Structure formats: structure tokens, C-alpha cells
Structure 1
Amino acid sequence: MPRLYGMIDSGNCYKPRLLMAKLGLPFAHVEVSSRTGATRTPDYKARNPNAMVPLLELDDGRAIAESNAILLYLAEGTRFLPSDRYERALAYQWLFFEQYSHEPYIAVRKALLTFPERAADATPERLALTLERGNKALSVMDGHLSTHDFFAGGGISVADLALYAYTHSAGKGGFDLDAYPHVVEWLRRVETDPGHVPAEWLPPA
């Protein structure tokens, strides 16, 4: 059975759990937290030298790191990865957007405000920067969603799952999602797609 190493309170780790739940793929969750130093142990670094989660370990022992790379691997041949070349490129586009223009601000601001060990990093300057750039990302998303139900193609894809992971809890980082009505409507569409599970969901032991 595949093993997914990750943190229950990480949006990046939620992404592959959500997709595997939707696909009905059995897997074992192994809790490994960067907050406790568990990702920096010699045993874990032998699996992922970058000392980060999530990490998907396949049945044959091969491993895949980086949340969006795991999504693409799992989505191959499913409804979550468009078959059309252009629409598939759009999915990749939004995955890169999520990691470069979205997660570093929306996820980081939430962490600064909610994780006690990050409090020292929550300077007024950093909070202002993450708020400004996070709102920019939400505005880009809202503009796209004003004319599209999803981010790539006519249906839900890995792009939506990746962006959902941190957007749905952006309020905890001080972002006013009510200012982005198309984003709010999209969140509901993602949540009503079959097989949806909340961020705290884990597979049966």
C-alpha cells in the first residue's frame, strides 16, 4: 500500500489526501511534522533529502516529493487532469501560480498568525506584504472565476484541488473572502464535487 508522509495541519499535505480520497485510492498516512523536527531526522531525509512533506512512497519503494508533483502523478488518466493539451497546460499554469504567487502569501500569513513558533517572524512588514500579495492572488483568481466554473477545462482538475487547499482557510490568515464572491462560489463547487473530504480527514488505519 502506498504511504503518504505528511502533516495533518498542512494544506500542501491535504492536497494529495483530498485527491486520493476522491479517487478511492487506499493509502497509509504517516504523520511527519516539520514543526517537531521529524522531517529533519536521518531516516526521513533518506527518503526526501529536501526534508519536507508531503512525500508519497509507492508500493515499490520509489518516492515522489512536492505536493503538486504528487497531484499530477495521481491524476494521470483520471478526470482531474485534462486530456486536451491546451487545457492540461492551463492546469500546470495554475499549479505554478499556486506555488509561486498564492501559497507563499496566503499560507504563510496563516502560519504566522496561528503557529506560536512563527510569532517572532510575524513582523508588521511581513504581515503587510503577505496580506497585499495574498489579496492580489485572490483577485486574480476571482477575475478568472467570474467567467469560468473551474481553473482548467470544463470541470474540476488538480489546479482546483491545489488552490482549494489554502484558499478555503484563508480567513484564518486575515483574508476577507467575502470580497471575492466568485472565489466563494467556486469553493462551494469544489466542496460539492463527489468524494470531497475536509482537511482533517485521514484514511482508515
Structure 2
Amino acid sequence: MSDGRFTLYGDRRSGNCLKIVYTADLLGLDYRFVDVDIMTGESRTPEFLAVNPAGQVPAVDFGGGRTLAQSNAVLVCLAEGTSLLPADVFDRAKVLEWLFWEQYSHEPYVAVCRFQMVYEGKPAEEREGWRVTKAEAALDHMERQLAGKPFLVGTRLTIADISLLAYTRLAGEGGFDLAGRPKLGAWIARCESELGIAGAG
């Protein structure tokens, strides 16, 4: 959608910010990244709240008073008119289905466990047990859904894949072992290759 340079306010360690970076870089979009340290209150300054009153990263300023938050909403905006967002109504709806699922059933568990370890410095055993259980269930769901499929929707990379990839490829940093999920591992490698990014290791 973006027809000119935009500014992305974010945290380079955040999967929700990285998914926008992956999409923008793949599409060759012109943007400026402004680092926001969420741990020192930089997302709560008057200047930042003018861009996103919710005080969360990522936030995007397209200029002319057009600002947008919520990572998956930004993905839809950037991907409009490209192969990353199918034109077919049903396929598009399937992409949206995955985007909604990611924010409701994946990110609150996989990402928050990672936050507890990476940002707060907690050991794996101090993660919230109920959150760990839900995260494992989300990763198992993806493993099942990728059976016999190269990507989550259709045969090409879409923003559904990019959205789920961001935190899934970093799940090890949240204390999760993906070794027993070969389909998920192969999908991660496939997406990383498509996006031209190095493996998480």
C-alpha cells in the first residue's frame, strides 16, 4: 500500500516489529526505523503517544497524519496488491484467519514466554506454567497444519507465514524445543530462505 517513505517505530528484538521489517524489506519498501526502548519508557513519551496512543510498538507513521499500529494490520496495509496478500477472497480470508489466530492463540504465549526470558532475564523454569502449556499447544497446531504444505496458505509465502514466523523462529529463546517438530522446522527454513534472512540458530 505504501506509496512513499514511512517511519517504523519499534524494538529490533520484538517479533511484532520484525515481521514488519521482513515484509518491508522483501517488498523493497523505503522506510526509516526508529528504535524505541520499551524497557525504559520510551513508548510512553508524549512524542510516541502522538503516533500510537496505546503506547505500544510497533507503530508506523505514513505521513500526513496517517498512523497505524497493531503489527498484523500493518502487514495487511503493506502487502495490499502484492502476492503476499492473495486477491482470491477465500484465500485472503484464510490469511486473515491465521493473522487473528497468531495474535490470540500464539503471540500471547510463545512471545510472552520469550519476553520473560530475553527481556526480564528469567530462567525457563520461572515461566508461567499455563502460558507454556498454551504455547506448546500452538506450536503443535502449526506442526499439524503444515503437514504436506509448503506454506500456511496456498503454495506461496504470504503475510500469514511472515506473521507466524517472527516469534516461531525465536521460540527457542522462550525455552521451547522445536527439534521434535520437523514440519515446523522445515517451514521456518523455507520462510527464512524466501525472506533472505539468516537462521535463528
Q: With the length of structure 2 as denominator, give the TM-score of the two structures.
A: 0.91
User: Structure 2: which amino acid aligns with 1:68?
Assistant: N
1:75 partnered with 2:79: yes
Equivalent position of 1:144 in the other structure: 145
Equivalent position of 1:161 in the other structure: 162
5+ residue gaps, structure 1: 201-205
Equivalent position of 1:13 in the other structure: 17
User: Matched residue pairs, number?
Assistant: 196
How many Å apart are 1:152 and its aligned residue?
1.4
Equivalent position of 2:88 in the other structure: 84
Which is bigger in relative contact order (C-alpha 8 A, separation at least 6)? 1
Equivalent position of 2:185 in the other structure: 184
- Structure 1 runs (4+) deviating above 4 angstroms are none
| Aligned equivalents of 1:89, 1:153: Cα separation in 2 | 12
Q: Deviations over 1:71-117 (max 9, x none)?
A: 0000000010011111111100100111011011101001112223x
How many Å apart are 1:172 and its aligned residue?
1.1
User: Structure 1: which amino acid aligns with 2:27?
Assistant: L
Contact 1:14 1:199 survives alignment (8 Å): no
How many Å apart are 1:156 and its aligned residue?
0.6
Contact 1:21 1:196 survives alignment (8 Å): no
| Aligned equivalents of 2:16, 2:198: Cα separation in 1 | 13
How many Å apart are 1:26 and its aligned residue?
1.0
User: Structure 2: which amino acid aligns with 1:47?
Assistant: V
User: Structure 1: which amino acid aligns with 2:112?
Assistant: V
**Inter-CA distance 188–19: structure 2 relative to 1 (3 Å threshold):** same
Percent of aligned pairs sharing the same letter: 40
Q: Map 1:55-74 onto structure 2 (within 5 A).
A: 55-74=59-78
| Aligned equivalents of 2:156, 2:199: Cα separation in 1 | 21
Contact 2:189 2:199 survives alignment (8 Å): no
Q: With the length of structure 1 as denominator, give the TM-score of the two structures.
A: 0.90
**Inter-CA distance 199–71: structure 2 relative to 1 (3 Å threshold):** farther
User: Structure 2: which amino acid aligns with 1:67?
Assistant: S
1:197 partnered with 2:197: yes
Equivalent position of 2:102 in the other structure: 98
Q: Secondary structure at the match of 1:69?
A: helix
User: Structure 2: which amino acid aligns with 1:46?
Assistant: A
Q: Secondary structure at the match of 1:177?
A: coil
| Aligned equivalents of 1:82, 1:93: Cα separation in 2 | 13
Q: Secondary structure at the match of 1:58?
A: strand
How many Å apart are 1:127 and its aligned residue?
2.4
How many Å apart are 1:198 and its aligned residue?
5.3
From 22, 25, 30, the equivalent of 1:26 is 30
How many Å apart are 1:33 and its aligned residue?
2.0
| Aligned equivalents of 1:174, 1:27: Cα separation in 2 | 33
| Aligned equivalents of 1:89, 1:70: Cα separation in 2 | 16
1:36 partnered with 2:40: yes
User: Structure 1: which amino acid aligns with 2:70?
Assistant: E
